[in-house]
Structure 1
Amino acid sequence: MNDQTPILNPPPPPAPASLADTGLPMTLMQDILIKTMYRMSLNHASELSSVLCLSFAQVQELIDTARGERLVEAMGTLHATSKSAEMGFQLTDAGRSRALSALAISEYYGAMPVPLEIYSEQVRRQSIRKVKITRDQLLAAMGDLILPEGLLSALGPAVTSGRSILMYGPPGNGKSSISNGIRDAMGDHIYVPRAVLHAGQVISVYDPIVHRKVETQAAHVGTSLRVSGQRFDPRYVLCERPTVITGGELKLEMLDLKYNPVSKTYQAPLQFKAMGGVFIVDDLGRQEEPPQALVNRWIVPLEMNYDILSLASGEKFIVPFDTLVIFSTNFHPNEIFDQAALRRIFFKIKIDGPTQADFLKIFALVARKRRVPLNEDALIHLLQTKYPTIGNVYANYQPVFLIDQMIAICEYEGKPYHMSPELIDRAWSNMFVEDETIVK
């Protein structure tokens, strides 16, 4: 494969051919089966197959084993809506007692988890470090952004390396938009486990808020999952490469396993949910935690490609770390990091404001999109009268701000969209608040 060809279809996790191939203990699978039957009032193997993410035959085998232990019994009636005249099953008194005992230990039920060691193999197969992005792909993903000359040459190697990136520079110049463009340039799909298992503890991973499911016919194999030769293990969800974006709300505790003491279940931390994708720490330096402390938390993952998590019992364990971490800040790096921390961030890219020529390109582009005719007198007034008052410092956000302000004024006054020196002055007054001299 050419190094410049992106991997659009990572190898899928193979569907387990048997219960043994799931890598799960039989006792655990039985407990999840009866907890699911109890909590969801499901009585048919086809329904349980869809919820447990196992094949019909595998669920039937679990039911037969539970019947042998007198935890489940046949209901004696056929499923009226099933074309195959499917037998119904229900929990016995012993089964309900076992379900309650299992729920007291953990409220988790539903999809069978994937053992952590098996998921780690899938992480390697679909590693973000195997994604190769061309200049054209990166440029296309940036949309209508007017980028500083040389920026793509700096971003390209950073993205294709899968290593950490620090973008810094004055506010309002598109660092967040560029981060989102990097995410969009990935373009391919990966397989996200619904849950993983470690040391008998189930950790929920798939999160519809973070993960964008890919809806394809190939992802569905029928309501009862009876079709053999499924394209991938149904315990996974086919998703776009995930992106987690955090800002000033980020706290160190959000990077740890989240344990619910009531349900006795775990939620994967943010960076685990971002596995195989992008983790963006936006507006670094605005969090309650000092930037140095946040970066210190990332030192081991960034250098060793693994992370260390802790269970509620205090047991620590290693998980894969396969994430492109992008830090974005308005501060100069030397103001918020020591040199040891900076050394561990592989790429540092400064995002400066536009030149006057690029500013005019952006202004014209925004005006055309907003259907506001350009006016030469207004532009001359803006460049020769207004910008000298702030040292001729341009920012990418300013054209959008100024034009949207003029549109708001026109709409309020019932006038067609236009620009003029007078409208420029009114818009400018909302973009910058001038100091007022207090007269006693």
Structure 2
Amino acid sequence: MAKSIGELLVREGLISEEQLEQAVAQFRRDGGRLVNAILSLGFITEEQLDQFLHFNLPVPLKIVDTGLSEVFLVDLLLKAAYLEAGTFTLQRMSQVLSLPFSVVEELIELVRTDHLAAIRTSSSYTSSTQVLELTQRGRERAEAAFKISLYVGAAPVPLDDYAFVLSRQSVRQIELDKEWIDSSLRHLVIGDKLLRQLGPAFASGRSIFLYGPPGTGKTSIAEGLGKGIPGEVFIPQSIEVSGQIIRFFDPAIHTPIEDKKNRGDASLDLRMNLTHDPRWKKCHRPVVMVGGELTLDMLELRYDYSSKFYEAPVHMKAGNGVFILDDFGRQRIEPRQLLNRWIIPLERGVDYPSLHTGMKFEIPFDQITVFSTNLNPLELVDEAFLRRIRHKIHVQYQTEAEFKEILRRVCHKQNVHYDSEVAEYLLSNYYLKQNRPLVGSHPRDLMEHIIDQAHFLQLPPTFTKEAIDSAVANYFVEL
């Protein structure tokens, strides 16, 4: 299950259950942060806490350190070499397989001993200068390996290692405060009442249900808070489960943090240039958003019968981050079908992906799951499911003051002079008299109409009553 920092410290044996209870009691009594209570009580030192929070993944120095079998890694190397027209170097295989030189050297020694490859050329006695070539026997074994799986790339990490790291860098260990939420949402205009609800919701690291009329900023709020979550996490490039490979790292979702020391160079001992296991990429915490396109099969492992390996489901890629289900209720499947898929993960903190062979395995379900909808929640889900969602937050229409501030910011962003009298004209004539709700997205949309009109007339855009009249005529539907 996803665990708080206190629970993780207990699991690692750094504090006891009794000490955690004492720290929680002090934290609830005095406020602040739980880790500060643990430190003040002297249960751990700041150095121990820092080492715990900034753990690293040791660099594998030998095949046995990878957690993978020799046969598996040899086949992976042979397939990579086969795609290099049969000729390869130690450095190239290290790059393709994301393994240190020492591990690749051991693999090359194995393939040479088994007469699967031979040295083609060498400018010195060192292995880094050797160009090797697959033998006929090596090519035949590579072709046989391709029949099992076409995957060629970074060596995967074992499932147990992935589950451990996922739990170790849990999103619930992050302690967020009011300063953080104010900073994350400073680009939006949000009332104090809503801010007081959003802070504890995201700080809990649990599920959130945002509901309310369209255009009130639910999606922007969820995305802004998701991107504002601090910290970095290790993301595996691929995972191995019972000999099957699951491709995990997704450049469309995961944003790497460049580590110059981990890029390596052509030196003889790349171990000295690696700060962590290169099979993992250090990234910002992921934020995944899906909408009406979501289907049930997107939440399951996707097996490609031609390539014979898996792609991790979209919500699994959001591990240790935020998963936003936008426009909930507008998917092509019944909401209850979709929600049934989430009941166990939300309640127990674990998920059970299934291989095409029927084998299921367990992984921690660690993410802030945000359901966002402009439909009536009671018509979408039953009370039983709502109980499993920790925080339900109603995002309502903007107040007059908030609407004006949004309008002012939109004008500033577009380098258009803001006129308070024109703003009053807009509110009075097109909102208050029309009994039209103050929707937070309207100022942006109306300004886009003003800009379109100005560009057509080849004039600079201006925030005037005439421009407002023209924009409103094209924006609102009057029957």
TM-score range, shorter chain: over 0.9
Structure 1 residue runs of 4+, over 4 Å off? 4-9, 82-85
Contact 2:90 2:128 (C-alpha < 8 Å) held by counterparts:
no
Percentage identity across aligned positions? 37
Residue pairs, 1:200-279, within 5 angstroms: 200-223=243-266, 226-229=269-272, 230-279=274-323
Q: Which is further off, 420-429 or 334-343?
A: 420-429
**Using the alignment, how far apart are the partners of 2:418 and 2:253 within structure 1?**
41
Q: Could you tell me which of 342, 360, 365 is aligned with 1:298?
A: 342
Q: Could you tell me which of 131, 134, 152 is aligned with 1:88?
A: 131
Residue aligning to 1:37: 81
Give the TM-score of the pair, scaled to structure 1: 0.93
Residue aligning to 1:411: 455
Query: 1:177 aligned to 2:212?
Result: no
Residue aligning to 1:135: 178
How far residue 417 of structure 1 moved from its aligned partner, in angstroms, is: 2.9
**Using the alignment, how far apart are the partners of 2:197 and 2:123 within structure 1?**
62
Contact 1:71 1:92 (C-alpha < 8 Å) held by counterparts:
yes
**Using the alignment, how far apart are the partners of 1:79 and 1:403 within structure 2?**
67
How far residue 288 of structure 1 moved from its aligned partner, in angstroms, is: 0.6
| Aligned amino acid, residue 98 of structure 2 | C
Q: Could you tell me which of 209, 229, 247 is aligned with 1:166?
A: 209
Contact 1:367 1:403 (C-alpha < 8 Å) held by counterparts:
yes
Task: Tell me the SS of whatever aligns to 1:150.
Answer: helix
Q: Could you tell me which of 25, 50, 53 is aligned with 2:98?
A: 53
The 1:4/1:171 distance shift into structure 2, 3 A limit, reads farther
Q: Could you tell me which of 149, 153, 158 is aligned with 1:115?
A: 158
Residue pairs, 1:52-71, within 5 angstroms: 52-71=97-116
Q: Count residues with an aligned counterpart.
A: 433
Query: 1:22 aligned to 2:63?
Result: no
How far residue 12 of structure 1 moved from its aligned partner, in angstroms, is: 2.1
Residue aligning to 1:73: 118
How far residue 223 of structure 1 moved from its aligned partner, in angstroms, is: 4.3
**Using the alignment, how far apart are the partners of 1:192 and 1:88 within structure 2?**
32
Deviations 1:407-432 (A, max 9, x none): 22223223343233232121112221
Give the TM-score of the pair, scaled to structure 2: 0.86
**Using the alignment, how far apart are the partners of 1:358 and 1:126 within structure 2?**
37
Q: Could you tell me which of 193, 196, 203 is aligned with 1:150?
A: 193
How far residue 347 of structure 1 moved from its aligned partner, in angstroms, is: 0.8
Deviations 1:139-162 (A, max 9, x none): 112232010222222112211211
| Aligned amino acid, residue 92 of structure 2 | E
**Using the alignment, how far apart are the partners of 1:31 and 1:240 within structure 2?**
32
Q: Which is further off, 262-271 or 401-410?
A: 401-410
Query: 1:98 aligned to 2:141?
Result: yes
Residue aligning to 1:393: 437
The gaps in structure 2 that reach 5 residues or longer are 6-32, 37-48
Task: Tell me the SS of whatever aligns to 1:102.
Answer: helix
Contact 1:49 1:225 (C-alpha < 8 Å) held by counterparts:
no
How far residue 219 of structure 1 moved from its aligned partner, in angstroms, is: 2.9
Q: Which is further off, 294-303 or 211-220?
A: 211-220
Cα root mean square deviation, aligned: 2.2
Q: Which is further off, 353-362 or 408-417?
A: 408-417
Residue aligning to 1:438: none
Contact 2:101 2:271 (C-alpha < 8 Å) held by counterparts:
no
How far residue 121 of structure 1 moved from its aligned partner, in angstroms, is: 1.1
| Aligned amino acid, residue 270 of structure 1 | V
Task: Tell me the SS of whatever aligns to 1:259.
Answer: strand
